[in-house]
Amino acid sequence: MTADPHPPPPCPLSAHESDSPSPAPEAFRPPAQVVVVGAGLSGLVAANLLERSGLRVTLLEARERIGGRVFGVAAEGGTHRFDLGPAWVWPELNPRTADWLNTLGLPLFEQQGRGAGLVELPSQAVRRHATGFAQQPPSMRVVGGTAFLTDALRARLVRTRVLLGIRVRGLDACPDGTVSVEFARGEQVGTLVASSVILALPPRLLASTLRWSPALPAELPRRWGDAPTWMAGHSKLLALYRTPFWRAAGLSGSAVSQAGPLAEVHDASDAEGRQAALFGFVGTTAAWRRRMGRQALIGASVAQLGRLFGPEALTPQAVYLQDWAEEAETATLADASPASAHPAPISSVLPAPWRDRVHLAGSEFAPDFPGYLEGAVIAAERAVDALQAQLRSEPGA
């Protein structure tokens, strides 16, 4: 695929209508059968299912990495990818995610919760609770980190073209039933034609970043704009340590705080406890975080870990702060405040002429567990099912 500062028309002429003797630009070549937009968990699951069924697939991702909200960092010389996005799976409640993990040979381990939990009062006084904060069913984590899941899905794509750094800007419904996908890479723009498109993006990004021609009914992007993107308003801090010293003190690593800046803290160490870490959710709005500044926020958070877990917590080997509200590929201005709960499901049905050409697969469109990893898998599988049903219904199928 090439990017041209002067792209061809949105819906190109067919080959017999073009009198250009030069090699045809990308938009004039035979179309991909499916373009998937977004290489997060949902887009990767969709691409795997489509490739398995024999379809020609192109997967476009705006970031220079795959994974979307699934993102992890490794300690120097370490193999575990500490999660800065979603980390927990509940196999009993998340059977579709569990099935993919089993298929990919990725084991789970239980979130460390043995030991006392801590509560920090507004006065910064710390209370110890002997029973901790055990969950039922227990929260489980992917051995190696959740990024192992998206990496494994990417590794299975043999025929699919995976293109990074490609920002999709608009969709045009062409008279021949195809969809022209307008994209940009830096200052260059181009088009890619497909028979079908799967949009594996959050609703708010669909509402705020995509041009649709013909335009959607105004009510639809308004509803999308009202749907919070899970994690988009959140910020997550990760502190790496030489050992999980809190365990020797009889602490689980879990804490809740009314003083902040971290509202909730958990043990983020690897399965064996050899690569030790604590993570916390920053309990403030994006505007408050910007006013405070990144380094001041990190300093205040490490000081809080010291109040909670003792002086050893004041000297982490490394600290990472992931502010999802600063990620243009995840958040919009509407996500300035963290969502207090996972979003309610919203309809993924589009009106004509888009209904049979474009399918929505972002996690927030899932009827169950929207915003969760499970929601991403469900939304992807539903979108692929709908696309394949449409292909089977076409004449000559």
Closest CA to 49 of 376, 374, 381, 377: 381
- Pair 141, 160 in one domain: no
| For the chain, percent of residues with pLDDT exceeding 90 | 80
- Pair 250, 317 in one domain: yes
**Mean pLDDT, rounded, for 384-393:** 91
Report the alpha-carbon distance of residue 330 to residue 228 in Å, rounded: 11
What is the residue-averaged pLDDT of the chain? Answer: 90
Residue 313 lies in a domain: yes
What residue spans of 12-82 are helical by DSSP H? 41-52
pLDDT at site 348:
81
Q: How confident is the model at residue 134 (pLDDT cuts 50, 70, 90)?
A: low
pLDDT at site 393:
81
pLDDT digits (tens, 9 = 90+) for 92-121: 999 999 999 999 999 999 999 999 999 999
- Pair 141, 157 in one domain: no
- Dihedral sign for Cα 277, 283, 287, 290, please: negative
Residue 262 lies in a domain: yes
Residue 274 lies in a domain: yes
- Pair 253, 386 in one domain: no
Burial class (CB in 10 A: 0-12, 13-18, 19+), 112: buried
- Pair 40, 58 in one domain: yes
Closest CA to 358 of 224, 195, 198, 209: 198
Q: How confident is the model at residue 133 (pLDDT cuts 50, 70, 90)?
A: low
pLDDT at site 64:
97
Contact 378, 369 (CB under 8 A): yes
Tokens (6 digits) for 156: 């299975």
395 pLDDT higher than 80: no
List of residues 6+ apart from 245 with CB closer than 8 A: 276, 309, 310, 312, 313
Q: Which of 326, 355, 382 is the last residue of a domain?
A: 326
Report helix, strand and coil shares of the chain as percent, to nearest 5: 30, 25, 45
CA 206 to chain centre: 14
pLDDT at site 346:
77
pLDDT digits (tens, 9 = 90+) for 252-311: 999 999 999 999 999 999 999 999 999 999 999 999 999 999 999 999 999 999 999 999
Domain of 385, in residue numbers: 15-67+150-227+343-393
Report the alpha-carbon distance of residue 293 to residue 287 in Å, rounded: 10
- Pair 141, 154 in one domain: no
Q: Which of 326, 356, 374 is the last residue of a domain?
A: 326
28 pLDDT higher than 60: no
CATH classification of the domain holding 288: 3.90.660.10
| For the chain, percent of residues with pLDDT exceeding 70 | 89
Residue 253 lies in a domain: yes
**Mean pLDDT, rounded, for 170-178:** 96
- Pair 134, 100 in one domain: yes
Higher pLDDT, 342 or 302: 302
pLDDT at site 248:
96
pLDDT at site 104:
98
Residue 5 lies in a domain: no
- Pair 185, 304 in one domain: no
43 pLDDT higher than 70: yes
389 pLDDT higher than 60: yes
31 pLDDT higher than 60: no
Burial class (CB in 10 A: 0-12, 13-18, 19+), 390: middle
CATH classification of the domain holding 157: 3.50.50.60
- Pair 39, 176 in one domain: yes
Question: Apex CA 73: angle with CA 134 and CA 296, to 5°?
Answer: 85
- Pair 264, 308 in one domain: yes
pLDDT digits (tens, 9 = 90+) for 375-387: 999 999 999 999 9
Tokens (6 digits) for 207: 């509402």
- Pair 23, 140 in one domain: no
Question: Apex CA 76: angle with CA 276 and CA 149, to 5°?
Answer: 75
pTM value? 0.91
pLDDT at site 343:
64
pLDDT at site 10:
72
Selection from 28-32, 303-307, 341-345 with the highest mean pLDDT: 303-307
Domain count within the chain: 2
pLDDT at site 129:
85
Burial class (CB in 10 A: 0-12, 13-18, 19+), 358: buried
18 pLDDT higher than 60: no
Contact 314, 237 (CB under 8 A): no
Tokens (6 digits) for 122: 């507004």
Residue 244 lies in a domain: yes
**Mean pLDDT, rounded, for 56-75:** 97
pLDDT digits (tens, 9 = 90+) for 178-216: 999 999 999 899 999 999 999 999 999 999 999 999 999
Question: At 82, is the secondary structure helix, strand, or coil?
Answer: strand
Residue 35 lies in a domain: yes
Report the alpha-carbon distance of residue 368 to residue 140 in Å, rounded: 19
**Mean pLDDT, rounded, for 147-166:** 97
Q: How confident is the model at residue 397 (pLDDT cuts 50, 70, 90)?
A: low
Report the alpha-carbon distance of residue 361 to residue 348 in Å, rounded: 8
Residue 119 lies in a domain: yes
- Pair 299, 156 in one domain: no
Report the alpha-carbon distance of residue 397 to residue 393 in Å, rounded: 7
